[in-house]
Structure 1
Amino acid sequence: MRLILIFGVDVIGENPKRFAVVGWFNGKLEGKGEFTLHRLIRFIQIKRPDIVAIDSVTELGEDLRKFLRSLPPGTKLVQVTGKPGEQKSLQSLAKEHGIKTADRFDPYEEARLSALLASKGVGYEVLAFEDEVIIKVARGRSPGKGGWSQDRYRKRVHNLVRDKVREIEERLRRAGISFDLETEERDYGLARGEFRVYASREELAGLVSPMHGGDVEVRIYPVERAELGFAPLKGEEAIRERRSIIVGIDPGITVGIAAVDLNGRIIALHSERNMPVGEVFRFISEIGHPVIVATDVSPAPGFVEKIARSFKAQLFVPRESFRVEEKNELLRNLGITVEDDHQGDALAAAYKAYLRLKPKLEHIDARLREAGLSKKADEVKALVIQGYNLGEAMQMVSLRERPKVEEEREDERKAPDLEPYLRRIRELERRIEMLENENRELKEIIREQRETIGKLERKIADYDEEVRKKVLREKELEAKVKRIEALERQLREAKVIIERLGRDLVQVKRMNVVEARGSAVPLKVMEVLSWHELERIEREVGLRKGDVLFVINPAGAGRAIAEKLVEKGIRALITEKPIPGPVKAVLREAHVPFFMGEELDVKRVDDFAVVERKTLEDAIERLLRKWEEEDREREAEKFLRLIEEYRIERAKELERKALEEIERKRAKET
């Protein structure tokens, strides 16, 4: 479970402005004291909380923009009382969520309520920046005036600027991040380069870093919004407040957008040239809250994935890219004319996603009619799409109007070393239970459908042969047969998932026992060998001297991160895919062993991996012994080479002296 740190903030007084701060850390409240604005900013930058909660951002006054610019990446400023125009008082919100209140005029009480409400997902995040960043690369100092040496220095600096621009360009392309680049050429190099990157500051962490004070300077500027935006903290809040929709997007120079509701009605079609990410986000937000973002191509473009992440929506990707004939047929069946191909592609993606979900949505409608919750159909459907099962979604909707009781929990005792693995086992067991419940529901639906088919077949048998043939051609019966086939296919898929999860569960338990006996070494797993992943490992589980790392895909890593691993004192590096040459060179030089996972028979389930201790120890010993022999041979070759070079040089020297002696004798004779 990830540890959450929240700071509740409230103004104490003006001139100078002073703030009361209360911290909330995983269920425990702690007063932090009184801070000036400058000290508060420094405190937040040091502690890096997940959320800074305040009842109203207007309390920051003219310092609001400065405060937002100073927040470290990953820290959100949240206005817990709601977005402008729809705000509620702290006391009324606390009462709604079962939180006890005291003196409403006490700043520390206000800060406490803000922190507690934010911990329950209440409030709106204040959005000050677009999901765009400007990266400027230029020379770090003036080359001076005149002179041959100054010209040479200027050319060198412009070459360095060009190399840095190419390096950043390559990193962005490798990470799959979209960008535009403008450059100014000078002296066969570059005087400057300016990137407009379509990603947030957090996505660039570990890819591009600022540089100051040298020959080349790199500055990073997030693009500020003209007006502040407000986004709800929880996806469920957005579902409750706004219409849930399915959005199809066709990215490119001209962006196509289509939206349908959860009943399959088309509610928006739009296309626009050079439409920025922020504008796409705002356009969709005005229509409703997307629970699914769809594309018509496979794999999904990075632009579409980014929009889905921004809304915390499910991403729909077809098994294979739509054919033109398939899209045209779908549009003909809908009986709608689009302005251009971009709108058509977006609509095809959105409607195909709706058709994929249609059987499940119809089943939800039937269940809601029985439960008398038809008015809440859209909200329940959206929660089911987000991952809740139908029973949980219906319960959440029916209980939302009832007052909630504040849950106060004692600090949990420190979990034993095996707690992460046990938690994973419990999670797998819950998922199996959820799939079994859904499996039972599907079986019940199949049984009801089969009874219906049986009744129809008995009724058909009472008619003559001609009437029976006509009934068989009826579209309703054909639709029911297709429905049964779809449900049986879902049932087969659910059985496959249950079998796989069962195998994973057995494997996790087996590895758990092996590790407890001390016959295996646990490996710290990284998806990729990057600075971002390294920071995650250090933050979540720690990286100590003597640890063994298991990296799934080390492609793209360079010398810098390899030197960092050596500095950390890791014992060995195991990878699933080949290690890049620069990383090998650094590890070989530092005598840090590296292996492929297949060499050591690594056993892995999701985020957990182990290797047999004896196998690892033997492999390390063999590799180090091999490297020692290679080093000795290399030193011997180097020594022999030096002797040979000395012999050659000595021979040349003797020959030169002999020639000089001959010349002197000739000179004397003449």
Structure 2
Amino acid sequence: MALQTIFGVDIVKGSSRSREAPHYAVAILNGNVEKYSSVSRFKLLRLIKQYRPGILAVDSITELAENKKDLVSFLRRLPPEVKLVQVTGNEHQEPLTKLGRENGISFNPMVPEEEALAAACLASMGVGYIVSVFEDKTLIKVSRGRSPGRGGWSQNRYRRKVQGRVREKVREIEAKLKDRVYDLHITEGFGGYVNGTFIVNARRSELGIHSSREEDVQVTVTSVEKEAIEFIPLEKKKRDYIIVGVDPGTTTAVAILDLNGKLVEVSSSRVSSVPDIIEHISEMGRPVVIATDVVPPPAAVEKIKRTFNAVLFTPNERIPVEEKVRLARPLGYSNDHERDALAAAVKAFNAYKNKFAQIDKKTPSHLSGDVKALALEGKPVEVALDMLTAPPIAEKPKAPAQAETDVDGRLEELRAQLRRKDEQVEHLRAYVSDLKRELKHLELRLKSQERVIDRLKSKGLDEARKAREVAIRDGEISRLKKEVSGLKRRNAELQSNIDRLKDIRAMEFRGDKAPVKVIESLSRDAILECDRKFGIKAGDVIFIRDAGGGMEAASMLIERGVKALIKGTPMSHLAEEKFFKAGVPVLSREDVPLKFVDGYAVLDPGRLEAAMKRWKEEAADQERRSREERLLGIIDEYKARRAREYRRDGRTLQ
């Protein structure tokens, strides 16, 4: 396993508060020792990015930054895996020389290189506190790489291109975060996104996504800042009391919280057996509660509970998925199994949270964990305190011959026990008095909360009524908008028809071209559509693209008194005969050439009159032939009838 690189830093001249640029002495531990007597802040940052140490150790963070804002700015410039460690303590610091003596490190405090080396050595021994200014959350912002500018002929096309690239980058990052828990806020724009902001429940070093800048889009990756600086012990305490949530199965997940509800670890594995899980939990601490999210608890959870002689926590009923997400989301998880284990642990902590808070009020901080563990076993707080604080009683060895004679010593021992019992009783009475006062306080608080709830209910009903009325009005507004939009479209269509009719009327007045109204087919619907758009009146010339229609459509045109019909395709015999009987000329498109303009056609009036004259002449000839045929038929019928009568008369005479 590779050794962890550690930087020790001490200021040489200047300071974070002065105008003079500070210089630092640097000691690097990475199997060997490297020293730099004086480097600038820029050179220090370059060395850190070159070596990428695990720890940057200082004796005081004020040597790096004057205030929290400057400290955050400095830490944002470091690689995400680097931990800043203040070796002299947290808010309450101890001299570096004292810590050196206690840990067997001797150095000259007047030489900055030796102070830097001492800080690095102390950090390597687990001395100091990690300076934490960032949450375990990361902010990723995707935005345009440059402004669209003041405008021009191609501004819209350019804006669409840039904002389309922003949308592509957002989707690319979404694909990389598909197994992470995150929130996404998007500002949409023309052709894509103006920007997109991710808040991911993970450290920046875990994501593998870095700040970048391209031609049209830029990505900024930063950690989310905490409200206050937090100091975390560099070396974790061993065997702390913990609450463990377990989700057994093909994939087993374990979530561990400390007794303050803070997340220690959440993990999952497909290859861990129950003994492996027990060993892992044992390494993490002393479990006092083993929790599960189902009822009844699985056999594996029961076995883990018996191994540690811990309290088993099960909910009254199976925890719904929505509640699991609500409980686990603030702490972060990678899959559903980790979510279930984490929800069980948080549910257990919430069940004991009030009791833990009471214990924190009544006990010293160094005894808090032990008292909580005893309280979970069922012991009253005062009894647990007495067990932890009472001095041990050394039993005096008794010789067998003196057992009956040492009555006074035994009596004194019993009296001491009685005094301790009396003290315990007094402690318990005081505890009962505290509980009664707290009960009264809670009753008053409950009444106050009930009044607040009543007010909120009343306010909520008013807001619900307003929201319902607003929704009704919004629906009506939406309906009216649709109606207005439809009327506008209809108005535009009618205006277009008016313009066409004006053109037709102008042609009629000029007489150079005759307008022809176009019907798509010889059908009732097509005739009505043309009538709606242009109006069909007596004396109109009609062109029918598809003339294969029936008698009903022919009757509709005859009733409207059209002057002539021009057929685009052959017409049925029945329809053409009906037009013939009504005296409406049916002309072929070859006889009358047409020119189409904006939904209607025009023709030469002279050609139309000539074609109609020919049709009328042909119709007159056909009518004459028809009359002759009818007359010849009458004559033939008369001759046949006379022949029949002659034959009948001849038979009668014989």
Tell which structure's C-alpha radius of gyration is larger: 2
Common topology (TM > 0.5): no
- TM-score, normalization by structure 1: 0.39
